[in-house]
Amino acid sequence: MVQRKGSTRVSEDAEELVRVPLQAILLADSFAQKFRPITLERPKVLLPLVNVPMIDYTLAWLESAGIEEVFVFCCAHSKQVINYLENSHWVSLPHFEVTTIESHNSVSAGDALRLIYERHVIHGDFVLITGDTVSNMSLTQALQEHKDRRKKDNNAVMTMVIKRSKPSPITHQSRLGTDELFMAIDPHTKQLLYYEDKADHLKGTLSLEKMLLADNPSISLHNDKQDCYIDICSPEVLSIFTDNFDYQHLRRHFIKGLLVDDIMGYKIFTHEIHSNYAARIDNFRSYDTISKDIIQRWTYPLVPDVQFLGNYAAKLERQGMYRASDIGQSRSAQIGPFSIIGNGTNIGDNTKISYSVIGERCTIGSNVSIEGSYIWDNVTIEDGCVLKHAIVCNDVIMKSGAVLEPGVILSFKVVIGQEFVVPAYSKVSLLQQPTKQDSDEELEYADHNSGVEEIPSITSTVDKLNGVLTCKLPETEAWSTSEVGSGGVGYIWSICEGGHEEEWRHSVAPTPADKLTEVMQATDDDLELTTQGSNVLLPSGELVPDSNSNISEDDDNEDSRDDSVYFEKEVEATFLRAVHENVKEDHVILEVNSLRLSYNMTSADCAGALFYSVMKLALETPCNSNSELLKNVASVITRWQKLIKSYLQSMDEEIEVILKFEEMCLESAKEFSALFAQILHILYEKDILQEDAILKWASEKEGAEESDRVFVKQSEKFIQWLNEASEEED
């Protein structure tokens, strides 16, 4: 049993008080095949996430959550991790001790935990986490639940943190790019009974053991939960790994092993968070998603404008734009919404940057276009380059006119030649592609030389490609400099057979419209049967709605509110991208439809979210009077009339738009409140709202309280005119 700082633990062997620090194990080598070739040269936890190393987010959260002692286990690139931590602010913090454990023989999470068990450094319950996790949740409640369960049942060895996240019914992926996860949970005790992250969606079925159904009166079966990879563990977890040498992977071996082990009787429970944030960077799509969440402040206080432990805090400006204080920007350069410009960066004339993160000390030339990309430190991008949804690592040089198509990854110190076009989803590195590819499980905590042929260093590779060394590489291995443009240096890694689908599913680039259409056309007509959020499976095998269980309706409502907020943010970001990049309405509709399916929203929800985005744009357009604001509204409504109308197929959708407008006038856009009636008239004239919808909205307000009839009263003359016109027609 573990208590917070300054508290005590009662020994089971003696009636003496012993102080036990709250401990955590941080696995720093949790990199997968998806992040190569970047992680061949640098550990994943030191890669920049919105200009801050990933591991700093994890450590900052652990420190804020009251953890007093962290053991950082590192294997691959261990010297880099240890040197970084030894020279960081973490070593000087009071009441927070960071200790590194180095091993070159551990090739899995199981090996790491067995080694830690042998060191005898864990003295009580501990938090198990990977160094690529971002969170702002409080541990207090989860720790208390774990402690209380342990008092009643010593076999309750783990509490797993989960969060609601609906997967796309089209791609069967979460917004983090991870596979759809199926969990069976006891709705009363929150015990985890089933865990499957590799379901065969083609079959459309799940197989559950008969004994699982017979032994549990009711089971909640979920496909709408996200595993946050934050676990509160009892010391027995370490000994279980020691007793089972075949346990390597934390989820596929340990979790599933305990769930089917009916001899020892160990149990795993879940703790679901609602208003807090927790997510793990497992692939490039989750890297992109979590970066956006940080920029949009879902991870507060771990956000770009809050300085934590040495990072340069950037100033938050309008539309989610952040700029460091020491940057050089041409007056003609345009920085779009949800972008970050790092310290010491210079931006040339007529350059456009939107939805992107630019690191420190970068030099960006003139007439450059950067959209949805991540540019790390010390990067040089010469005039006329175009980058769309790409990742560019440190010290890369892009010569004039070079183009990166969506999904491209440029590893460290690569040089892209003049006017060379890097094909979509390509990975370019100074290191040759290994001839033997490791599986994700083999690589989970492996050293970069384990299981692969020896990789030359970047320095030696540069020398070879520049012809400094007299020996010549085989033509089949070396990537000719002429093939990456004039003066280019690097290797393009080939995509294995069948790997193209894997690339677009896990890329920082949005899912291509043709791929989305292709998948949608192949979707089974019975899709709804496989995308139920939560159901109760009775021992008879009958699947009944979740409402028959005792799950709190308040939690369901809170989850729905969370989904609605996320959905509106995503729609707004999509709309703003269309505004600033002149995206066609048809493409916006396709993206919004994809979001609608992912969040299980209605057409009315889409109409309300788009209307909110359009009106917010009108409000943020500079004006000096109410008359100018009205002109802005009329102009924006006229421009995006087709887009809004595409989701107004019935009176219900139109009424939803009016209700959304009322909400804006009362809360987020009070500037519109005095102009409600006039804007309502504009919406009528622009054919956004029909008279039947306006009259029905007014009639539904007749029995409401006075405070809820403010805007009906303001619009009385207009409503009366509509009534009279309607009577004349009759």
CA distances from 552 to 18, 188, 409, 433 (A): 38, 10, 45, 52
Name residues whose C-beta falls within 8 Å of residue 175's C-beta, 6 or more positions apart in sequence: 165, 168, 289, 598
pTM: 0.72
Of residues 197 and 544, more confidence is placed in 197
CB 580 within 8 A of CB 336: yes
Q: Which of 390, 328, 314, 331 is nearest to 363 (CA)?
A: 328
**What is the pLDDT confidence band of residue 348, given thresholds at 50, 70 and 90?**
very high
Say yes or no to pLDDT of 139 above 60.
yes
99-113, 260-274, 355-369, 554-568: range with lowest mean pLDDT: 554-568
First and final C-alpha spacing in the chain: 77
pLDDT tens-digit series, residues 253-300: 888 888 887 778 899 999 999 889 999 998 999 999 999 999 989 999
Q: Which of 370, 427, 365, 353 is nearest to 400 (CA)?
A: 365
The two tokens of residue 68 are: 């007093």
Q: Which residues contact 554 (CB under 8 A, 6 or more apart)?
A: none
Which residues, including other chains, have CB under 8 Å from residue 397's CB and lie 6 or more apart?
Answer: 379, 380, 382, 414, 415, 416
Q: How far is CA 32 from the centre of its chain?
A: 17
Mean of per-residue pLDDT scores for the chain: 80
What's the mean pLDDT in 415-434? 91
The torsion defined by the Cα of 73, 77, 82 and 83, in degrees rounded to 10, comes to -170
- Alpha helical stretches, state H, 87-178: 109-119, 140-152
Which phi and psi angles does 619 have, rounded to 5°? -70, -35
**Lookup result for tokens 């040495």:** 310
Q: Quote the pLDDT of residue 136.
A: 95
Which residues lie below 8 Å from residue 422, measured CB to CB, with a gap of 6+? Answer: 402, 403, 404, 405, 408, 410, 416, 428, 484, 492
Q: Are 355 and 371 in contact (CB under 8 A)?
A: yes
What are the beta bridge partners of residue 74? 102
Sheet containing 334-335: give its strands across: 334-335, 352-354, 369-371, 386-388, 403-404, 421-422
Indicate whether 635 pLDDT > 60: yes
